Amino acid sequence: MCEYCVQHGHGKKWYLNARNYSKDLAHSEKVKQFCESFFGREITPGAKELLPSGPITVEERQKENHRYMQYLHHQVISTDEALSILKLASYQTDESERAVVLLPCICRYSAYGSDPNLSCYGIAFTDEYTHRFPKYCGGAHQYVSAEEAQETLEALIKTGPVVHAMSALGVPYLGMLCNCDMPVCRPYLLRKRLEITSPIYKAHQRAQVDVSKCTGCGICETKCPFGVPTIDSQNNLASIESHACFGCGVCQRYCPENAITFKPVGESIPF
């Protein structure tokens, strides 16, 4: 279990703790200040450079690590967990309010210039911030119920190898469900560039292959956003290194033989 679950989860995974979606947290000064800076900034669509180039400095590593630890912590979750969180959002929202706001993915918007699928979901009460900044990422916001959000998520995962991650908008307030594209995912790219885990933590599960079902088709190898599965040339079966797996579930989603399952991991597995 990662440090955020221990600190903010109160005996459970931190992103399944209803308190971390509460209106009181959403109205805290820390969250207000961060959301004003996050939603109020100008985002250049289709920028060519997603990350700084050149040598890595100690200052850059320290700055990004502090920012993500305090405000923008992300953690990979499974599709089932993402759907559970959208259900939880309906319990945390007054009957007169919409539970979820669909937003353009800032990573896709920055890299490609648009995100027509509205791939990021603001959870529960983040609408008060997005209403204040209607031009955020082009202003294509869409407010939906928790049930409608679940339907759009199920449709979204059919479009490609989407990776789900719960995102804080001021730790521990969980204001965003990201459904990102790893080649342009800024937290993941920062994790790789700076060799720090704080931008995006791995899930609480790791994939494993049932060799009795695997046919060596190689689909998992081509679909994994992190390039983890490989086909063993000796036995023509898929192999997954547990320490490299992010636990996103994409390989399982695409496996035609249902040969991939997941095992939970704890503190013995490094994040």
pLDDT at 3 over 70: yes
CB atoms within 10 A of CB 154: 12
Percent of the chain predicted with pLDDT > 90 = 54
Structure token digits, residue 13? 């995974």
Instruction: Name the band, by pLDDT with cuts 50, 70 and 90, for residue 59.
Output: very high
pLDDT of residue 95: 53
pLDDT of residue 181: 93
- Per-residue pLDDT tens over the stretch 88-127: 777 666 655 667 889 899 999 999 999 988 999 988 655 5
Instruction: Name the band, by pLDDT with cuts 50, 70 and 90, for residue 49.
Output: confident
Structure token digits, residue 224? 């994994």
- 3-state DSSP helix/strand/coil % of the chain, to nearest 5: 40, 15, 45
Instruction: Name the band, by pLDDT with cuts 50, 70 and 90, for residue 263.
Output: very high
CB 28 within 8 Å of CB 37: no
Region 215-231: what's the mean pLDDT? 96
pLDDT of residue 92: 63
Inter-CA distances, 117 with 38, 114, 187, Å? 21, 9, 20
Ranked by mean pLDDT, the top range of 18-32, 43-57, 89-103, 225-239 is 225-239
pLDDT at 159 over 50: yes
pLDDT at 269 over 70: no
Structure token digits, residue 165? 């991650």
pLDDT at 26 over 90: no
pLDDT of residue 98: 67
- Mean of all residue pLDDT scores within the chain: 87
Ranked by mean pLDDT, the top range of 2-16, 33-47, 140-154, 198-212 is 198-212
Region 19-48: what's the mean pLDDT? 85
Which DSSP symbol is given to 137? G
Q: What is the pTM of this model?
A: 0.91
pLDDT of residue 164: 97
- Per-residue pLDDT tens over the stretch 181-215: 999 999 999 999 999 999 999 999 999 999 999 99
Instruction: Name the band, by pLDDT with cuts 50, 70 and 90, for residue 226.
Output: very high
User: b/e per residue, 200-238, with b = 16+ CB within 10 A?
Assistant: bbbbbbbbebeeeebebbebbbebbbbebbebeeeeebb
pLDDT of residue 61: 94
Domains along the sequence of the chain with CATH:
3-49+58-194 (no CATH), 205-264 (3.30.70.20)
CA 130/CA 121 separation, integer angstroms? 12
